[in-house]
């Protein structure tokens, strides 16, 4: 991850700094689809197959919807697409040439102030498509963009996305029982929230899809936030879902506190030198899984920082995590 994203993400994890990156180039409201050229300055976005997951009104919707504000960020040759102004939750579908029935819902990070759809969405899709997996990248609604229940909109979208995909399993050519999730940073928090709250009724059902389970078969949590309540003295994560939230809400949206024996198997990746999300988030998750007899595998790496996605230098042991995750998920429902 480049310095610009680190600076902005760090700001996004506090309640007082909600936006930065004024030098970022403005894009049209939505980019036209482009070929997967491998050029980071020309991402293949949106995907050729996109769905709005909510029919009609979305939970927490007000009379004024956010306006799209996508930006390209970073230096030429290594730019990244960030999405803001999410008026409707969107599911972007990336199909493999030879689908094997397994599927992965990717939840990019961005401190809940943007969605890093390129580094932690498109790139994830391209990698796991090569392994036969159908990948769904969720552009979830951002809490601080005017919704009436900001602390719920992202997890509502994640639950709905799981059910939306399962309801169309035949159309997507997947096995509904082999659908898992992977999340990064704030998206890791969202994935962790999903695997601990999949059975909670967080929105009123809108169609037959909502009769289906939102439980992922497995989950990858990559440099995840697992608690909005302090785990370290310098942790500043309580403002991620909005300012002034009650202690009850912070407790409810701190997934590490809600792990049970029914929590799906989880796979963690965390760098000890992460300057944004304290490693204690992952260590606490491991301890809670062990205490509750929930399956967990963790890869704690010495060097990697934050926001590396699938792009750690090949000479670092942590660069092998996507392949280790792929092997692990085949043993855990994928």
Residue 15 lies in a domain: no
Query: Can you give the pLDDT at residue 42?
Result: 80
Query: Can you give the pLDDT at residue 31?
Result: 32
pLDDT tens figures, 27-57: 223 333 334 556 767 888 999 999 999 998 9
Q: State how far the alpha carbon of 25 is from the alpha carbons of 6, 76, 80, 118, 242, in Å.
A: 17, 11, 11, 15, 26
Q: Quote the strand ranges of the chain, DSSP E.
A: 25-26, 49-52, 71-73, 80-82, 90-94, 103-107, 134-139, 179-184, 219-222, 266-271, 296-301
Length of the chain: 334
Residue 33 lies in a domain: no
Residue 4 lies in a domain: no
What averages of pLDDT result for each successive group of 10 residues across the chain (334 residues)?
Answer: 47 32 27 48 89 95 94 85 96 97 98 96 97 98 95 98 98 98 98 97 97 98 94 72 90 96 98 95 98 98 96 96 98 94
Q: Terminus-to-terminus CA distance in the chain, angstroms?
A: 28
pTM: 0.90
Residue 104 lies in a domain: yes
Cβ–Cβ < 8 Å for 87, 159? no
pLDDT tens figures, 220-255: 999 999 999 888 765 567 788 988 889 999 999 999
Query: Can you give the pLDDT at residue 231?
Result: 83
Residue 21 lies in a domain: no
Query: Can you give the pLDDT at residue 152?
Result: 97
User: Are β-strands 90-94 and 134-139 bridged in parallel, bridged antiparallel, or unpaired?
Assistant: antiparallel
Following DSSP, what letter does each residue of 132-191 receive, concatenated? T-EEEEEEPPPTTTT-SSTTTHHHHHHHHHHHHHHHTHHHHT--GGGEEEEEETHHHHHH
Residue 14 lies in a domain: no
Cβ–Cβ < 8 Å for 102, 334? yes
Distance, CA of 150 to CA of 156 (rounded, Å): 10
Write the CB contacts of 272 (distance below 8 Å, at least 6 apart in sequence): 279, 300, 301, 302, 303
Q: Is the dihedral of CA 200, 90, 153, 3 positive or negative?
A: positive
Residue 273 lies in a domain: yes
DSSP 3-state of 5: helix
Domain residues for the domain of 56 are 45-331
Instruction: Give how many domains the chain has, as a whole number.
Output: 1
Burial tier of 259 (Cβ tally within 10 Å: 0-12, 13-18, 19+)? buried
DSSP 3-state of 268: strand
CATH number, domain containing residue 198: 3.40.50.1820
DSSP 3-state of 147: coil
Residue 19 lies in a domain: no
């Amino acid at each position: 991850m480049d310095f610009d994203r680190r600076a902005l993400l760090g700001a996004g994890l506090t309640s007082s700094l909600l936006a930065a990156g004024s030098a970022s180039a403005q894009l049209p409201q939505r980019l036209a689809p482009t070929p997967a050229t491998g050029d980071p300055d020309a991402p293949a976005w949106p995907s050729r197959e996109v769905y709005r997951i909510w029919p009609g009104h979305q939970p927490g919707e007000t009379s004024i919807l956010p306006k799209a504000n996508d930006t390209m960020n970073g230096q030429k040759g290594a730019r990244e697409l960030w999405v803001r102004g999410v008026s409707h939750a969107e599911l972007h579908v990336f199909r493999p040439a030879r689908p094997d029935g397994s599927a992965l819902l990717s939840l990019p990070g961005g401190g809940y102030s943007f969605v890093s759809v390129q580094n932690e969405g498109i790139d994830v899709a391209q990698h796991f498509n090569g392994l036969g997996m159908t990948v769904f990248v969720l552009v979830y609604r951002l809490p601080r963009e005017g919704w009436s229940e900001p602390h719920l909109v992202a997890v509502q979208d994640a639950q709905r996305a799981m059910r939306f995909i399962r309801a169309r399993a035949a159309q997507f050519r997947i096995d509904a029982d082999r659908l898992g999730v992977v999340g990064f940073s704030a998206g890791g928090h969202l994935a962790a929230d999903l695997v601990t709250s999949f059975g909670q009724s967080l929105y009123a059902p809108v169609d037959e899809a909502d009769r289906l389970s939102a439980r992922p078969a497995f989950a990858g949590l990559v440099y995840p936030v697992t608690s909005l309540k302090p785990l370290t003295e310098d942790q500043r994560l309580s403002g991620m879902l909005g300012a002034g939230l009650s202690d009850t809400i912070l407790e409810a949206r701190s997934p590490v506190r809600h792990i049970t024996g029914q929590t799906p198997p989880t796979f963690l990746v965390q760098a000890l030198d992460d300057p944004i999300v304290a490693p204690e988030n992952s260590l606490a998750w491991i301890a809670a899984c062990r205490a509750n007899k929930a399956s967990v595998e963790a890869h704690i790496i010495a060097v990697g920082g934050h926001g590396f996605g699938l792009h750690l230098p090949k000479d670092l042991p942590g660069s092998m995590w996507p392949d280790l995750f792929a092997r692990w998920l085949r043993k855990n429902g994928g």
